Amino acid sequence: MRRIERARPLLGTLVAVRAEGTGELERAVESAFAAIAAVEARLSAYRDDSDLAAVARLGTGERAPVHPLTARCLWLALALARASDGAFDPVVPAPAGAPHAASWRDLRVARGAVAVTRPLRLDLGGIAKGSAVDRAIAALRRAGVAAATVNVGGDLRSYGSDEWVALAPRHAAPPVAVLIADGALASSDVVAATADRGAPQHRDPVTGAPLLPGFASVAAPRCAVADALTKVVLARGTAAGSLVARLRACAFLHRPGGAWQEIVA
């Protein structure tokens, strides 16, 4: 079997694809990059021609057609919002204390279209990277690749081989590594995101307040689920345990000055 590794910038980060097999690996890897590029085109919050931009232009009661890729991602996002009672929310939260903020409850997805009950803005940054990883893995499987790993800025999924992944918060923490076997791992770091952007990036969807500093990693069968659950764990801490278990995931949380916690039911 041959093995190749390729990397390129997508989704505002570095995307790395490793593939092993006997077939046309280069073509398979290109199909994985194409799958990720499609997610970037449809789910970007910064492109005027994206589906998210089209939704942002909707008025009360209006609807807009969206690509099936977008509809599937939004359907999963809404399912996770419902399951977490809003601890994960694809709708941009209002500032803390603002009245009558829009939320996931104001969003409808059906028959290839999105409808809103009030104007709102979507931010799928909490699930888009994971969705891109899942789509890339699906492309590699369709191409007959025997074993592969896709890593999008630290959110990854692999099959056919085991991956040891170090959990590395920006703040000081004891070293920990997690073994991923035919599954996915995603992480979110409040301190790193705030430092990189110069302002709080993680907010409680219910209150709008910035989340406490912390680092969450979630392992799950699908990277999109792991990606979204990191935000739930950061927002709810140990209270997220029952949802983590229900989704066949496992989660780890570290806050500055504390110890690693495994989030369990």
pLDDT at residue 199, as a whole number: 47
Please check whether residues 145 and 114 belong to one and the same domain: no
Residues 165 and 154 in one domain: no
Tokens in use for 118? 């009030």
Q: Which of 113, 143, 158 is the last residue of a domain?
A: 158
Q: Do 63 and 7 share a structural domain?
A: no
Asked whether residue 173 falls in the same domain as residue 252, the answer is yes
> Do 214 and 241 reside in the same domain of the chain?
yes
Helix and strand numbers (H, E) in the chain are 7, 13
Q: What is the pLDDT of residues 221-238, one digit of tens each?
A: 999 999 999 999 999 999
17 and 117 together in one domain = no
Cβ–Cβ under 8 Å, residues 80 and 107: no
Q: Residue 172 corresponds to which tokens in the numbers above?
A: 């000081």
CA quadruple 70, 6, 148, 233: dihedral sign: negative
Q: Which of 158, 180, 214 marks a domain boundary?
A: 158
Answer whether 121's CB lies under 8 Å from 56's CB: yes
Q: In Å, what is the CA distance from 197 to each residue of 5, 93, 173, 200?
A: 30, 17, 22, 8
Same-domain check for residues 116 and 237: no
Q: Is the pLDDT of residue 194 over 60?
A: no
pLDDT class of 200 with cuts at 50, 70, 90: very low
Which of these three, 122, 140, 169, is where a domain ends? Answer: 122
Residues 154 and 169 in one domain: no
Number of domains, the chain:
3
pLDDT tens string 109-155: 988 899 999 999 999 988 999 999 999 999 999 999 999 999 999 99
Higher-confidence residue: 175 or 40?
40
One domain for residues 26 and 99: no
Structural domain of residue 201, as residue ranges?
Answer: 161-263
26 and 147: one domain?
Answer: yes
Phi/psi region, residue 111 (left: phi>0; alpha: psi -120 to 50; beta: rest), is left
Whether 172 and 250 map to the same domain: the answer is yes
Same domain as 109, residue 39: no
Q: In this prediction, what percent of the chain has a pLDDT beyond 90? A: 75
